[in-house]
């Protein structure tokens, strides 16, 4: 949480060439989960830390020199990637709405009621509110959903007991080990993460600022992703990346003020330093979060479609977008299709539609 907060502040207020200056919120990346589930049992967590350190530096340097290769990312490629990010998040929103993937009461009536009340609260507030109050619709939905959850007795406060008041992160809690296979695998995923960051940055500029993203912003965004991830490994943590969920929030609320977003970064840092505060935030039921995020994630899809529309519907653009989205989203819906490939390829692409869409659209 502390590293995510620091990374967000650097994205908002760049240090030298690191950071975009855009309202990007950083967080732990789920893109690395599948590859770490393979590296961890095979080589150990220390090898993960070493691979993240090296991979983060590689992505950071790649970001600093983005002006030399960014022309490969044509507008239709960026638009296709943004659209795929939106589609990849729809199942995340649905899982939260049902109560959280793997939960014992997934899809129960309680979760349906909580998710529906939260969603309706967001929509009704957005319709009835005037002026800038419309921007508070998601917050209003969260508050209403949380209150209803407390009344229904589904908020678990037991995690607060025994939680320490203050906790300071330790330097190098895990000694990095540098395994060539682990490093190579993780660098590949960092390249995938960079494509998602390009999509997030493009979507933010398009949906929040109504303009195209600049090369300087994209370069700083990728550099921040990489170097902050390397810093994260020094504290024994996992890679940090831009969070697509918050792109949806910006698209929906149009709140792009950097000081407003910085408040969220400070809250994350406080939640990290004071675990009791973080534990309190974690009591928010998944169904309430899902009720708020469904529309946000759909908004990213629409932003991507608008970007495709702005590129024009030439036969070339239609072919690129249609083929990359159909292969990227379609193939990752049936991950067994990658079973003939080496394990490393399967781990990278089988469940990551954004990576597949990016590669196919580039080709």
Asked whether the predicted pLDDT for residue 206 surpasses 90, the reply is no
Going from the C-alpha of 20 to that of each of 69, 80, 129, 143, 284, the distances in angstroms are: 17, 21, 32, 31, 31
Token pair of 167 as six digits: 């906790």
- Tell me the H-state helices in the chain: 2-12, 33-43, 45-64, 75-97, 109-128, 137-152, 180-208, 215-234, 244-253, 258-273, 275-281, 286-311, 315-333, 343-349, 353-362
Q: How confident is the model at residue 47 (pLDDT cuts 50, 70, 90)?
A: very high
Angle at 237 between CA 51 and CA 41, to 5 degrees: 55
Q: How confident is the model at residue 264 (pLDDT cuts 50, 70, 90)?
A: very high
Distance CA 333, CA 302 (A): 21
Question: Averaged over 18-36, what is the pLDDT?
Answer: 87
What pLDDT sits at residue 327? 94
350, 34 contact by CB (below 8 A): yes
pLDDT digits over 71-104, tens only?
A: 888 889 888 988 888 888 888 889 999 998 888 8
Q: Which of 9-23, 275-289, 314-328 has the lowest mean pLDDT?
A: 275-289
**Contact partners, residue 226, CB within 8 Å, separation at least 6:** 55, 56, 57, 58, 59, 60, 61, 62, 63, 190, 194
93, 293 contact by CB (below 8 A): yes
Asked whether the predicted pLDDT for residue 109 surpasses 80, the reply is yes
Tally of CA atoms within 13 A in the half-sphere of 175 that contains its CB: 0
Question: Averaged over 311-320, what is the pLDDT?
Answer: 94
What pLDDT sits at residue 349? 81
pLDDT digits over 56-74, tens only?
A: 999 999 999 998 888 888 8
**Contact partners, residue 191, CB within 8 Å, separation at least 6:** 59, 62
Does this model's pTM top 0.85? My answer is no
Asked whether the predicted pLDDT for residue 343 surpasses 80, the reply is no
Q: How confident is the model at residue 113 (pLDDT cuts 50, 70, 90)?
A: very high
Taking each helix axis as running N to C, give the angle between helix 45-64 and helix 180-208, from 0 to 180 degrees, rounded to the nearest 10: 50
Question: Averaged over 29-37, what is the pLDDT?
Answer: 80
């Amino acid at each position: 949480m502390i590293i995510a907060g620091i990374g967000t502040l650097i994205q908002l207020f760049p240090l030298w060439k690191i950071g975009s200056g855009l309202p990007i919120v950083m967080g732990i990346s789920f893109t690395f989960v599948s590859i770490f589930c393979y590296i961890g049992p095979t080589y150990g967590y220390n090898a993960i830390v070493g691979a993240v350190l090296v991979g983060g530096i590689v992505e950071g340097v790649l970001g600093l020199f983005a002006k030399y290769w960014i022309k490969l990312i044509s507008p239709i490629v960026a638009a296709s990637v943004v659209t795929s990010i939106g589609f990849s998040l729809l199942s995340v929103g649905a899982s939260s709405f049902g109560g959280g993937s793997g939960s014992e009461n997934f899809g129960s009536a309680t979760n349906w009621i909580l998710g529906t009340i939260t969603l309706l609260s967001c929509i009704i507030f957005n319709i009835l509110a005037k002026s800038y109050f419309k921007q508070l619709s998601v917050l209003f939905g969260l508050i209403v959903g949380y209150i209803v959850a407390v009344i229904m007795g589904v908020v678990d406060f037991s995690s607060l007991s025994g939680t320490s008041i203050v906790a300071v992160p330790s330097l190098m809690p895990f000694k990095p080990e540098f395994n060539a296979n682990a490093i190579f695998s993780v660098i590949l995923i960092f390249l995938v993460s960079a494509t998602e960051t390009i999509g997030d940055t493009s979507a933010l500029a398009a949906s929040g600022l109504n303009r195209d993203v600049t090369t300087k912003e994209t370069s700083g965004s990728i550099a921040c992703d990489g170097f902050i991830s390397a810093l994260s490994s020094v504290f024994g943590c996992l890679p940090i990346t831009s969070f697509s969920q918050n792109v949806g929030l910006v698209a929906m609320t149009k709140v792009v003020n950097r000081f407003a977003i910085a408040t969220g970064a400070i809250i994350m840092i406080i939640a990290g330093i004071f675990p009791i505060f973080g534990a309190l935030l974690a009591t928010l039921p998944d169904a309430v979060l899902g009720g708020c995020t469904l529309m946000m994630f759909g908004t990213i899809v629409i932003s991507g479609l608008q970007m495709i529309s702005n590129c024009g519907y030439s036969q070339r653009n239609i072919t690129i977008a249609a083929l990359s989205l159909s292969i990227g989203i379609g193939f990752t819906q049936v991950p067994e299709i990658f079973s003939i490939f080496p394990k490393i390829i399967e781990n990278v692409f089988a469940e990551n539609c954004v990576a597949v869409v990016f590669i196919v659209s580039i080709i």
